[in-house]
Homo-oligomer: A and B are copies of this chain.
Amino acid sequence: MTTMAKKITINDVADAAGVSVTTVSLVLSGKGRISEATGLRVNEAIEKLGFVRNRQAASLRGGQSGVIGLIVRDLCNPFYAEMTAGLTDELEKQGKLLFLTQSGAKGQHMQRCFETLVAQGVDGVIIAGAAGQGAELRELAEQKNLPLVFASRASYLDEADIIRPDNMQAAQLVTEHLIKRGHQRIAWIGGRGSSLTRAERLGGYCSTLLKFGLPFHSEWIIECESSQKQAADAITTLLHHNPTITAVLCHNSTIAMGAWFGLLRAGRQSGEGSLDSYYDRHVALAAFAEVMDDELDDLPLTWVSTPAREIGRSAGQRILARAKNGDDEARNQIMPARLVLRSS
C-alpha cells in the first residue's frame, strides 16, 4: 500500500485537458462531433492520468450496463464449461462482460440467482440448464422486461427462446453413416433412461433404422452410467448375447472409451473397414461428443459433435441482439451436429 491513489474521474480529465466534462464524455463514447485537436488533447489527459471510466455510473445514467448474467446448472460439467467458455469469448469480443452464477444441480438457487442478476442491472440473462423452471423464469423476465435466453442440451417444450443441439439430427447423421458403411445391426450403449438428450438421440437412431427398413431391437439399447468400466462390461455382455451386431453407437466419449476397451478385451477391436473383411470379427464404434476430447483422437471411431462452444457463442449473440433491439426475431434455434470421420 504505497499511495492511496485518488480515484480519477472525468472531471479530473476535463480539468487536465482544459475542456468540459461533456466533451470528455463525448470523446469517450465517440458520439458528438469532436474536433480532432480536442479529441487528441482529451486522450492525452486520459492517458497521462490513467483514467478508467466508471461503467457503473455510466449505466446508472445511461441505460445499458454491458453486462449479461449467466445462470448455469453446474460448471464442472464439461458441456456447460465449454458452453460458458464460448459465451464469454463472444461477449468479450463484443466488449461485454459476464456475471456467473450457479443454480445448483437441481436448480435450487435459480430464483436467487435471477434476483441477484436483476439487482445488478444486467442487460439480459442466459439460463443454461433450466431444470424445468422455464415457465416461471420466463414470466419473471417478462415482468421485469428483461431479455432471457435458454441454452440447453435438449428441448424443453415450455420454453421459447432457446438454443440447443439438434440431438435427433445428430443421431440420424451418425446412424445413417453407419448404415451407408454397410452396417445393418447397430446397437446403442450408454445414458440413463431419464436423460432427455438421450431420448432425443434415440428418436433419431430409431427413425433412421426404420427409414432404411432395418430391424430395431430394444435389447440392443443398453442403459449405462458414464463409466468406462460399466461401458466395457456392457458391450461385452451385449456382444456375447448378440454376436451378430456389427456396430455400436456410444452415448458419449467415456462410454466410447470404455466400449473400445471392452472390444479390445474381447478381441473384437473396433474398426472402420468394410464389413466384408471384418465381418464377425470387428465391431465399428461411433459416438456422440459434446465437447472435443483429445482422448478420442486415439480411438478408431467416427463421432458426431454438437459443439457446446458454438451454443455458447450463439447464446451470446442472441442475448445481445435482444438487448439491443427492443424485441427479437428468430426463436428456438437448433444447432446442427457435424460428422467427424476417422480411419486410424
> Does the CB pair A298–B229 fall under 8 Å?
yes
Report the minimal beta-carbon distance from A93 to chain B, rounded to whole angstroms: 10
Report the minimal beta-carbon distance from A140 to chain B, rounded to whole angstroms: 10
Copies of this chain in its oligomeric complex? 2
Question: Does A294 have its Cβ within 8 Å of any Cβ on chain B?
Answer: yes
Q: A101-B92, A102-B88 are in contact. Are A76 and B67 (CB under 8 A)?
A: no
Query: In chain B, what residue has the closest Cβ to A112?
Result: B92
Stretch at the interface among A14-22, A46-54, A171-179, A272-280: A46-54
Question: Does A224 have its Cβ within 8 Å of any Cβ on chain B?
Answer: no
> Does the CB pair A326–B1 fall under 8 Å?
yes
Q: A88-B101, A145-B5 are in contact. Are A76 and B65 (CB under 8 A)?
A: no
Question: Does A106 have its Cβ within 8 Å of any Cβ on chain B?
Answer: no
The interface bits of chain A over 126-157 (1 if a CB of B lies within 8 angstroms of the residue's CB, else 0) are 00000000000000001111000000000000
> Does the CB pair A226–B294 fall under 8 Å?
yes
> Does the CB pair B52–A295 fall under 8 Å?
no
Question: Does A245 have its Cβ within 8 Å of any Cβ on chain B?
Answer: no
> Does the CB pair B74–A85 fall under 8 Å?
yes
> Does the CB pair A85–B56 fall under 8 Å?
no
> Does the CB pair B65–A75 fall under 8 Å?
no
Report chain B residues within 8 Å CB of A261. Answer: 261, 264
> Does the CB pair A78–B75 fall under 8 Å?
no
> Does the CB pair B119–A53 fall under 8 Å?
yes
> Does the CB pair A55–B120 fall under 8 Å?
yes
Q: A227-B298, A257-B228, A261-B261 are in contact. Are A100 and B88 (CB under 8 A)?
A: yes
Question: Does A329 have its Cβ within 8 Å of any Cβ on chain B?
Answer: no
Question: Does A89 have its Cβ within 8 Å of any Cβ on chain B?
Answer: yes
Q: How many positions in chain A have a CB within 8 Å of any CB in the partner chain?
A: 63
Q: A4-B145, A76-B78 are in contact. Are A56 and B227 (CB under 8 A)?
A: no
> Does the CB pair B226–A52 fall under 8 Å?
no
Q: A5-B144, A145-B5 are in contact. Are A97 and B120 (CB under 8 A)?
A: yes
> Does the CB pair A298–B97 fall under 8 Å?
no
> Does the CB pair A142–B102 fall under 8 Å?
no
Distance between Cα atoms of A295 and B142 in the complex (Å): 42
Q: A82-B76, A121-B55 are in contact. Are A1 and B295 (CB under 8 A)?
A: no
Distance between Cα atoms of A264 and B260 in the complex (Å): 14
Question: Does A244 have its Cβ within 8 Å of any Cβ on chain B?
Answer: no
Question: Does A237 have its Cβ within 8 Å of any Cβ on chain B?
Answer: no
Distance between Cα atoms of A53 and B52 in the complex (Å): 26
Distance between Cα atoms of A108 and B268 in the complex (Å): 46
Query: In chain B, what residue has the closest Cβ to A308?
Result: B76
Report chain B residues within 8 Å CB of A59. Answer: 56
Report the minimal beta-carbon distance from A316 to chain B, rounded to whole angstroms: 13
> Does the CB pair A81–B75 fall under 8 Å?
yes
Q: Which 8 A-B pairs have the closest CB atoms?
A: A229-B298, A100-B100, A75-B85, A81-B81, A56-B56, A56-B121, A98-B100, A52-B119
29 cross-chain CB contacts under 8 A: A1-B326, A5-B145, A50-B143, A52-B115, A52-B119, A55-B119, A55-B121, A56-B59, A56-B60, A75-B75, A75-B81, A75-B82, A75-B85, A78-B81, A84-B100, A88-B100, A88-B102, A92-B101, A92-B102, A92-B109, A92-B113, A98-B101, A99-B99, A227-B294, A227-B297, A228-B257, A228-B298, A229-B298, A261-B264
